[in-house]
Amino acid sequence: MNIDQVLDNIYPLPDTSKRALKENIEEVNYPKGLILLCADKIEKNLYFIKKGIVRAYSQAAANEITFWFGKEGDTVISMKSYVAHQKGYEDIELLEDCELYELKTKNLQKLFEEYIDIANWGRKFAEQELVKTEERLISRQFRTATERYKKLLKDNPDLIQRVQLGHIASYLGITQVSLSRIRADIK
């Protein structure tokens, strides 16, 4: 997935502003297991995934909770750092070796002030993420764990192949043991 596809996927940009945006983007590679973004600092970069898969998780009390997966074409960002310039609530871990496009938050902020198309591109990005998050919140309330798992299977069949079930369980809001039971029941 090349950078043009990633950017256009959010919102098609006219040439001039897309060029300006791309001038600030650099390709980087990182190994599986790396913690790309850290909960307890204000992150300076954001990333687009060219290849690979990552998870965002939040650490509390005893257990950690995976609440987001990103794969090819997705944007990796510490939302709270980015929005409120405060420490985030999430760590982001690479679950495979990853090829990423890196963009400095500071530069993006500058582009938002200069290019109205990039400002609207950033708006579209936030809006789309918001709809996705709201839909997940609602589905959490509506659906049983079994239904949520089935829906994930249907919508993201590759995720189950590429990611440990423990993380999937956490993402679904249940324990790994409970997910195992559900999988056994379905068969």
Kindly state the tokens that stand for 56: 């965002």
- Which of DNA, its own copies, none binds 144 (CB below 5-8 Å, type-dependent)? DNA
Q: How far is the CB of 50 from its own copies (least distance, A)?
A: 24
Structure tokens at 48: 């687009």
Provide CB contacts within 8 A for 5, sequence distance 6+. 73
Q: Would you state the structure tokens that stand for residue 76, as one six-digit string?
A: 């990796």
Instruction: Verify binding: residue 131, its own copies, rule CB under 8 A.
Output: yes
Handedness of CA 173, 177, 183, 184 (dihedral sign): negative
Q: Which is nearer to its own copies, 11 or 30 (CB)?
A: 11
Number of residues that bind its own copies (CB under 8 A): 37
The minimum distance between CB 9 and DNA, in angstroms, equals 29
CB of 72 to DNA, least distance (A): 19
Contact between 70 and its own copies by CB under 8 A: the answer reads no
What angle, rounded to 10 degrees, do the helices at 15-22 and 116-142 form?
A: 80
**Token reading at 176:** 């790994």
Q: Coil, strand or helix: which one is 89?
A: coil
- Residue 98 pairs with which residues in a beta bridge? 30
Residue numbers at the binding site for DNA (CB under 7 A): 63, 144-146, 164-166, 173-184
Residue numbers at the binding site for its own copies (CB under 8 A): 58, 60-61, 65, 67, 79-80, 82-84, 89, 112-113, 115-116, 119-120, 122-124, 126-131, 133-138, 140-142, 170, 173
